[in-house]
Amino acid sequence: MSETPKPRSHGMFSARPTAGPKPLGTDQAPGGAFRVKVLTIFPELFPGPLAASLTGKALAERLWTLETLDIRRFARNKHRTVDDTPAGGGPGMVMKPDVVAAAIDAAQADAPRERARWPVIYLSPRGRPLTQARVRELAAGEGMTLLCGRFEGVDERVLEARGVEELSLGDFVLTGGEIPAMALIDAVVRLRPGVLGNEASTEEESFSRGLLEHPHYTRPQVWEGREIPEILLSGHHARIAEWRRAQAEELTKERRPDLWRAYRATGGDTEQSDAKTAGRAGRKRD
Work out whether 156 is an interface residue with ligand 4GX (CB under 6 A): no
- Which one of 13-21, 69-77, 149-157, 241-249 is the stretch in contact with ligand 4GX (CB under 6 A)? 149-157
Given 124, 147, 155, 158, the residue binding ligand 4GX (CB under 6 A): 124
Q: Kindly state the smallest distance separating residue 182's Cβ from ligand 4GX, in Å.
A: 11
**How many chain residues bind ligand 4GX (CB under 6 A)?**
16
Residues 8-37 that bind ligand 4GX (CB under 6 A): none
> How buried is 154 (Cβ within 10 angstroms: 0-12 exposed, 13-18 middle, 19+ buried)?
buried
Q: Kindly state the smallest distance separating residue 163's Cβ from ligand 4GX, in Å.
A: 17
Work out whether 41 is an interface residue with ligand 4GX (CB under 6 A): no
Beta strands in 130-260 (DSSP E): 143-148, 165-168, 222-223, 226-227
Which residue, 127 or 268, is less far from ligand 4GX as judged by CB?
A: 127
Q: Kindly state the smallest distance separating residue 194's Cβ from ligand 4GX, in Å.
A: 28
Q: Kindly state the smallest distance separating residue 146's Cβ from ligand 4GX, in Å.
A: 10
Task: Give Cα 119 distance to the centre of its chain.
Answer: 13
Q: Kindly state the smallest distance separating residue 39's Cβ from ligand 4GX, in Å.
A: 12
Closest by alpha carbon to 115, among 82, 91, 138, 149? 138
CB-CB contact of 145 with 121 (8 Å): yes
By DSSP bridging, strand 64-70 and strand 165-168 are unpaired
Which residue, 125 or 268, is less far from ligand 4GX as judged by CB?
A: 125
Work out whether 170 is an interface residue with ligand 4GX (CB under 6 A): yes
Site mask for ligand 4GX (CB under 6 A), range 57-96, x = bound: ----------------------------------------
Residues 171-210 that bind ligand 4GX (CB under 6 A): 172-174, 176-177, 180
Helices 53-60, 178-189: inter-axial angle, 10-degree rounding:
70
Q: Kindly state the smallest distance separating residue 134's Cβ from ligand 4GX, in Å.
A: 13
- Residues near 75 by Cβ (< 8 Å), separated by ≥ 6? 81, 82, 96, 99
Work out whether 262 is an interface residue with ligand 4GX (CB under 6 A): no
Residue 101's CB is within 10 A of a number of other CB atoms, namely 17
Work out whether 233 is an interface residue with ligand 4GX (CB under 6 A): no
Beta strands in the chain (DSSP E): 34-40, 64-70, 83-84, 94-95, 120-129, 143-148, 165-168, 222-223, 226-227
Distance CA 248, CA 159 (A): 39
3 state DSSP class of 222: strand
Residue numbers at the binding site for ligand 4GX (CB under 6 A): 123-126, 149, 152-153, 168-170, 172-174, 176-177, 180
